[in-house]
Each structure stands twice: as C-alpha cells, then as structure tokens.
Amino acid sequence: MSLDVRPATDDDVDAVVDLFRQYLRFYGQEVPDAEARAFLTARRDAGDSVLLVVVLEPEGSEPEASAAGRGVVGFAQSYPTWSSVSLSRSWVLNDLFVSPAARGTGAARALVQDTCRRAKEAGAIRVSLATAWDNVAAQGLYESEGFVREEHFHRYAYVTGA
C-alpha cells in the first residue's frame, strides 16, 4: 500500500466530512453532515486552516484491501497563528483522525510529518497540539515524531456559551 498526503480538494469533501464526524463523535460531539461540511469548507476556503487528507492505495500486485481501508482514510486540520513570545509564526495541529480500518498503516504518522513539513515551509517555528490524557496511542505517535510534552504551562479554557 502507498500513502499520499495532500491538501483536501472539493472531491474529498464527502470522505472528509464522514471522517470529521467520526472524530467529533470520539470527543462526544454529534453534528449533522451539513454543519460539518459547512464548517470544514468555510475554514479551508477562507484560508483559516490547512486541511490535509491521506489517501491509501494498493500498489501494483498487492492484494486488494477492503473498501473501508482505501481512498481517503484520514485527515488533519491545522490552524496557522502567531506566537507573541517568539514573535513568529506557529501552527496548531487541532484535528487528526484516521479511520479505524486504516490504523496501523502509517497514515497518522504521514499526516503528522506532512503537517510539520508544511508548517516549517510556511515559516512556523513550532507545531503545537493537545490530546486527551488517555489517548496513549496518539501520545506515543507524537513523541516518536519529536513532539515534547509541555512542562512549563497549564492550559486553561473559558467556555463562553456562545
């Protein structure tokens, strides 16, 4: 199997919406297709985010994989921003999801690596992310790719209710 990471196109939207809804469900959120589609396309089209997909395709004479394990099998969405402390560009890798059927193929690692490469090419000095305390598999991936767990800051959130 080969992996190809590239920016999401209009042809990828249906697959990405399905993966995005699975991702949101993982975090206890349920949204209709239309809302997920509107959010993703608005962020991408406005240049607010960098939306990448990973495509898994069989090579040459490899046995055919199941339909669920081929095509667009994952996505990553990053938000370019600024770091005031470093006076530099920074990216936030906000969303990353690979379909259960494609896990173990290297798809998540390919998304992380490509996100970091693109951030560096865009002049960002860092890519930051957050993951759940109990998402040990993701933590292992991020640490193996050189991400370092933050020890100096506590993260806080204020929910406005808007």
Q: What is the pLDDT along the chain (162 residues), one digit of tens a residue?
A: 899 999 999 999 999 999 999 999 999 999 999 999 999 999 999 999 999 999 998 776 455 544 445 699 999 999 999 999 999 999 999 999 999 999 999 999 999 999 999 999 999 999 999 999 999 999 999 999 999 999 888 888 889 988
Contacts of 107 (CB under 8 A, 6+ apart): 3, 54, 56, 73, 74, 98
Q: Are 94 and 76 in contact (CB under 8 A)?
A: no
Specify the pairing of strand 88-98 against strand 124-128. parallel
Measured CA to CA, the distance from residue 60 to residue 71 in angstroms comes to: 15
Which phi and psi (to 5°) does residue 24 adopt?
A: -65, -40
Closest by alpha carbon to 52, among 89, 88, 82, 80?
80
**Residues forming a β-bridge with 93:** 78
